[in-house]
Amino acid sequence: MRQSTSSKVVSYAVILLFLIIYVVPLLFVFNVSFKSFDEYLRNPLGLVQSIQWSNYTDAWSEGNFSRYFGNSLLYTGVSTVLTIIVSVFAAFPVARGYVKWAGFIYLFFIMSQFLPNPLVAQFKFMLFMKDRIPFIGYDTKLGYTLLKTTGTGVVFMMFVGYIKSISRELDEAAGVDGCSYTRYIFQMVLPLMKPIIATGVILTAIGTWNDFVGPVMYLSSPDNWPITAGLKEFRGQYGNNWPLLACGITIVAVPLIVLYSFIQKYIVDGALAGAVKS
């Protein structure tokens, strides 16, 4: 389909607008992170004149980011893997209709996306579990990780839509060959779902890594804080030192940027497939 000149102008204008909204602030923070405090005071908006690599080492050590970074990697990595596995094993029988009331189950997950965030109920549940099973209750790493694994609604729905596009003949061939259910899921279904899995990974990882309210509510000990809570504490100590604070913001943002750069080629295809083929 050929585009008219006016539509091209509008397209480029929209792209430019999004670049200004999303990219320019990131570039500004990155630029500030390399300035000395004196240089920032003299010219906050100007380009850095003398790169201060020590800002990152100072921010990393003074903000105790090594501990917070490790906690975030643990929470994000484990909860993402568990979310993908649980969502696949839940979505496959629903998509195939191998369980009773599969349509109602799928509708239930859709309805759950319109319900208010159950923060109060989850908080009371975590306190309840703390008194009975302390290692998975309030202010525990395992409890918080399992809590983040429960947010599988959107990923589950995308997986259901994508699995419906996979031929049922593969199920029948696997059954004839005597392939077990678990082996079939891991060796046949998962490789075919790479695009939609990449989308699920980035959505889950972003939600867990950038979560700020969850750590404030469910983790009271600094030893269990992820990097977002550590950044809040760091801002309280260095709120006036914008170069160091910009380093902290960059440290928080870089891992997700790197993750996205590795799997971005699958994300658009996976998201479209999960939406269109359902």
Among 79-83, 87-91, 102-106, 187-191, which stretch is predicted with the lowest mean pLDDT? 102-106
Q: CA-to-CA distance for 224 and 221, rounded, in angstroms?
A: 6
Confidence band of 43 (pLDDT split at 50, 70, 90)? confident
46's enclosing H/E stretch is: none
For the segment(s) 66-276, the CATH number from 3.40.1160.10, 3.40.640.10, 3.30.420.40, 1.10.3720.10 is 1.10.3720.10
Domain chopping of the chain, boundaries: 66-276
| pLDDT, tens digit, 9 for 90 and up, residues 197-219 | 888 888 899 889 988 888 888 99
pTM of structure: 0.84
